[in-house]
Amino acid sequence: NPPLEILSRVLKKNGASVKDVKKGECVAYWMRMEDLRIVDNRALSRASSKAQQDSVPLIVLFVISPQDYKAHDRGARRIDFMLRNVALLKESLSELHIPLHTVSISPRKSIPSKVISLLQEWRASGLYANISYEVDELRRDIQTCELGTKKGMRCVFVQDRLIIDPGILKTKEGKVYSVYSPWQRQWLDTLNQNLDWLSEAPAPQANNSEVRQSKTFGKLFDSPVPEFVEGYQCEAEDGKNMTEFWPAGTEAASQMLDRFLNTKARKSQIGEVSPLTEGAESSAKQNRISEYAEGRNRVDLDTSSRLSPYLTSGVISARECVRRTMTFLKAKQVKGDRGSGVGMWVQEIAWRDFYNHILAAAPRVSMGRPYHEKYANVKWETSEKHFQAWKEGRTGVPIVDAAMRQMNVFGWMHNRCRMIVAMYLTKDLMIDWRLGERYFSQNLLDGDLASNNGGWQWAASTGTDAQPYFRVFNPVSQSMKCDPDGAYLRRYVTELAKVKGKEIHDPSPDTADAHRYPRKLVDHKEARERALRRYKEPGSL
């Protein structure tokens, strides 16, 4: 049984057995690394109203778990972003007299017992949290809830991460969807019939200021948020860049969204300044979102929202993004068609839901298994030299190299480029998608298990792409379409900055040598044929 279903049963059992749980001395909300916000946060909101009802303080707990970061291939950038956000949240919550307490727990299997003991120490009557869909986290929550039930504690774990919760959308035959388009049509219809699912969760109310004098809770206000987690410290220069490029906090996320809705796209400065300071010029008629349907695949312009780090860490809610599109259009229904910029953008937010639904229904995908099991035996190449060149942006294919260098510097990569580099690694170099997935997770600020895995399996044709394995991108023609003047290539592949015209997309061996740029690692045509052979008969050479 998928662990999400087990958790639902355990939660129900908890609800039944602790119906008349006694009022304790506090109510606790366990904030996770995917819900780093105060506004529009369902579990926090529910915990706050319970605390108000019982006239006890609300306490926020944040668990640091280095072993989980390792198991999920989290990178230092993501952990640094998390801590920067937690530090800001601590300040904002403190203004409401709500303490945020961070605790580091190792090994991770002891998290459930340590959390419940801490809650017992605090004499908490209830534990509130938003549900995470990753398998390890679900197992952790099942154990926590079972332990909480034994100790007579109310455990309320709610769905908050997505617009539509996993398990709701089913095919006519009652099955889980495995293809995006029909799923998305149902997603949109269902949402428009249940617009209250988009409602903003009420903000938490302030604790009584007396909590600051409490013997148990007063000291929690002073405990500092650690500046780094051992083993997850950014290099000094990189940490400085990340702080500048990607400021923490809901206000920064909200500004990023405003900018997407209210300013037009400009030649991208990415890699040098924060997306917040780029393209500051405002134009009521031209804005990124209206042009998104045509512009979203242009990698030389900053046409997309760049909200992914904030959405992944829950600094802004997906509901907020969709609500803002309705306000933008002054519409009473959600627009989610492919024909308009707004509709197209909402479809991207839906992709995020889709991949989380896949993860919840087929947890094997997060355990290194292909979504389509028949591709479990595809024969991969093991060239460390090729893999290293891909990672460093030295493959001799400028669009691949520019994109990889962009991620290495900026912690983010354009969606079109993610598809190109993933397809190149898995089809041209024939290197296992799991290695690429891992490298992405370690370097992206928005590294998210469901979307990253979904994107990699899509590119490697082991996942939910409706087209079969013979979709193999030609990186050169992709490059010409998504960066017509080569501006993006020149920005990142500086060796080729002086190469004129279209040759920048596909430099000849002489041009490459003359500019000290690597020659191509493989011939695309031959590599494509090899990939087709291997996918056609997985397991064969």
Which residue ranges make up the site for ligand FAD (CB under 6 A)?
A: 296, 304-308, 311-312, 348-349, 351-352, 355, 414-415, 418-419, 422, 440, 444, 446-448, 451-452, 454-456, 459
Angle (nearest 5°) at CA 459 between 458 and 464: 15
Supply the minimum distance, in Å, between the C-beta of residue 342 and ligand FAD: 12
Question: 10 Å Cβ neighbour count for 151?
Answer: 13
Is residue 415 annotated as a catalytic residue, yes or no? yes
Is residue 41 annotated as a catalytic residue, yes or no? no
Q: Is 35 annotated as a binding residue?
A: no
Question: For the chain, first and last CA: distance in Å?
Answer: 36
Question: How far apart, in whole angstroms, are the C-alpha atoms of residue 414 and residue 277?
Answer: 18
Which one is catalytic: 272, 291, 351, 381? 351
Is residue 95 annotated as a catalytic residue, yes or no? no
Of 2 and 447, CB closest to ligand FAD: 447
Question: How far apart, in whole angstroms, are the C-alpha atoms of residue 541 and residue 531?
Answer: 10
Q: 496: which residues sit within 8 A by CB, 6+ positions away?
A: 398, 489, 490, 504, 507, 511, 515, 517
Q: Which helix (H) or strand (E) holds 129?
A: strand 124-130
SS3 labels along 444-473:
CCCCCHHHHHHHHHHHCCCCCCCCCCCCCC
Question: 10 Å Cβ neighbour count for 243?
Answer: 15
Supply the minimum distance, in Å, between the C-beta of residue 49 and ligand FAD: 29
Q: Is 349 annotated as a binding residue?
A: yes
Tokens of 487: 């501006």
Q: Is 431 annotated as a binding residue?
A: no
Of 4 and 417, CB closest to ligand FAD: 417
Q: Is 306 annotated as a binding residue?
A: yes
Q: State the DSSP code for 282.
A: B
Of 225 and 265, CB closest to ligand FAD: 265
Supply the minimum distance, in Å, between the C-beta of residue 302 and ligand FAD: 8
| Residue 478: exposure state from Cβ atoms within 10 A (0-12, 13-18, ≥19) | buried
Of 401 and 448, CB closest to ligand FAD: 448
Question: How far apart, in whole angstroms, are the C-alpha atoms of residue 36 and residue 83?
Answer: 10
Which one is catalytic: 197, 415, 474, 495? 415
Q: Is 304 annotated as a binding residue?
A: yes
Q: Is 352 annotated as a binding residue?
A: yes
Of 122 and 136, CB closest to ligand FAD: 136
Closest residue to bound ligand FAD by CB: 455
Supply the minimum distance, in Å, between the C-beta of residue 530 and ligand FAD: 21
Supply the minimum distance, in Å, between the C-beta of residue 168 and ligand FAD: 18
Is residue 122 annotated as a catalytic residue, yes or no? no
Question: 10 Å Cβ neighbour count for 459?
Answer: 25
Of 52 and 415, CB closest to ligand FAD: 415
Q: Is 354 annotated as a binding residue?
A: yes
Is residue 246 annotated as a catalytic residue, yes or no? no
Angle (nearest 5°) at CA 59 between 58 and 62: 145
Is residue 194 annotated as a catalytic residue, yes or no? no
Q: Which residues are annotated binding-site positions for FAD?
A: 292, 304-308, 345, 348-355, 446-448
**Positions marked active-site:** 348, 351, 380, 415, 433, 456
> Which parts are annotated binding residues?
292, 304-308, 345, 348-355, 446-448
